[in-house]
Amino acid sequence: MAMMIKRVASTAARSLLSSSNSPFTRNLHASGGKKKIVGVFYKGNEYASMNPNFVGCVEGALGIREWLESQGHEYIVTDDKEGPDSVLEKHIPDLHVLISTPFHPAYVTAERIKKAKNLELLLTAGIGSDHIDLNAAAAAGLTVAEVTGSNVVSVAEDELLRILVLVRNFLPGYHQAVTGDWNVAGIAYRAYDLEGKTIGTVGAGRIGKLLLQRLKPFNCNLLYHDRLRIDPELEKQTGAKFEEDLDAMLPKCDVIVINTPLTDKTRGLFDKDRIAKCKKGVLIVNNARGAIMDTQAVADACSSGHIAGYSGDVWFPQPAPKDHPWRYMPNHAMTPHISGTTIDAQLRYAAGVKDMLERHFRGEDFPEQNYIVKEGQLASQYR
């Protein structure tokens, strides 16, 4: 209860700040003195030293340790995020800032938020903050922000990769190469050109748009479903057709790509019934979030052949357990969550996190598009 009052006060102060930049509120942040900042990333282990730009792992620590510590802040970095004895849990009660990523998500539950009495700011190094209970964060007056745009190109490129991997039946061919086999028929009987096929994206936000642009020269029929139509100029440029009704679009698609955030509305969107509405033999690419799909329904449809191929880098939960059905279903091309954490993306989201920390310490606003929760409000895509 005391916490809630503090929170409200803090929110009010920040609200004041954003309109006035008063010396008082500036002071609140700038001379708040030593902050405790916790970063939760994936471990680099033996790979950490193999690339000087590998800043996204625990050891790389976004390349901001020296800078933070030179300012007197405490910076704790870990990959140990689950359960009551984890390093993250230990620091929850007194951390000020939590930096997390979608690739190795620190699940920030309402319970953790309640325990985090000093928490001011949740930063996502990357895009997608659904590992945070955003409603709880909003109710607690916290700010949640992402590095919007930092890896949209990375993800869009990776989606095109996965479309081609499935359309061309690439993996059985690779398997033959490494096992000493040579059986062209075993690949070719279900390998197709992408040209002339119908590709539909469920969601045409930043990533969906970049995918449509990259698909344009392949001479496909491009469809998109979203709440709103995209810019008419981009529609013209890509030739993509708007489909207002998702269930009307699905049966037309040879390939479906999921490009929607995980929200209360999209959780479990592709359940057994919706998958049944897709064309028999559909290929599905999902680099958005695993929980948009019904896990078992996807596995069953891959087994029956209704889905002829499924590829993505997102699972629920993450890391995916050893017995996750998507590891074993036929015709999948799954990977761990990697598409948004290329070396190029890491450098961009590390720079974005540093920029937001600098602004936070100075009591300045972030770039508007970075906010996921601001002053008790969720960004529009999460509402």
* Contacts (CB under 8 A) with a second copy, residues 80-109: 103-104
Determine, following the binding rule CB under 8 A, whether residue 342 of this chain makes contact with a second copy: yes
* Contacts (CB under 8 A) with a second copy, residues 28-87: 42-45, 47-48, 50-51, 54, 56-57
Candidate segments 65-73, 121-129, 140-148, 168-176, binder of a second copy by CB under 8 A = 168-176
Determine, following the binding rule CB under 8 A, whether residue 5 of this chain makes contact with a second copy: no
The catalytic residue among 91, 131, 337, 360 is 337
For 118, half-sphere exposure in the C-beta direction (CA atoms, 13 angstrom radius) is 15
| Pairing verdict, β 241-242 and 255-258 | unpaired
Q: Which residues contact 31 (CB under 8 A, 6 or more apart)?
A: none
Candidate segments 106-114, 184-192, 242-250, 364-372, binder of a second copy by CB under 8 A = 184-192
Are residues 261 and 382 in contact, defined by beta-carbon separation less than 8 angstroms? yes
DSSP string, 57-126: BTTTGGG-HHHHHHTT-EEEEES--SSTTSHHHHHGGG-SEEEE-SSS---B-HHHHHH-TT--EEEESS
- Residue linked to tokens 């985090």: 116
Q: Which residues contact 133 (CB under 8 A, 6 or more apart)?
A: 108, 109, 110, 113
User: Which run of H or of E encompasses 308?
Assistant: strand 307-312
**Catalytic-residue membership of 337:** yes
* Contacts (CB under 8 A) with a second copy, residues 346-365: 346
- Please indicate if the annotation marks 265 as binding a ligand: yes
- Residue linked to tokens 């029929």: 221
Which spans in 149-256 are helix H?
Answer: 152-167, 170-179, 184-188, 206-215, 232-238, 246-249
**Catalytic-residue membership of 131:** no
- Please indicate if the annotation marks 226 as binding a ligand: yes
**Catalytic-residue membership of 169:** no
Q: Which is nearer to a second copy, 41 or 382 (CB)?
A: 41
* Contacts (CB under 8 A) with a second copy, residues 194-223: 194-196, 213-214, 216-218
Determine, following the binding rule CB under 8 A, whether residue 264 of this chain makes contact with a second copy: no
Q: How far is the CB of 249 from a second copy (least distance, A)?
A: 23
User: Which of 149, 186, 367, 376 is close enough to bind a second copy by CB under 8 A?
Assistant: 186
- Please indicate if the annotation marks 127 as binding a ligand: yes
User: Which of 1, 2, 322, 380 is close enough to bind a second copy by CB under 8 A?
Assistant: 322
Number of residues that bind a second copy (CB under 8 A): 74
Q: Active-site residues: which are they?
A: 151, 289, 318, 337
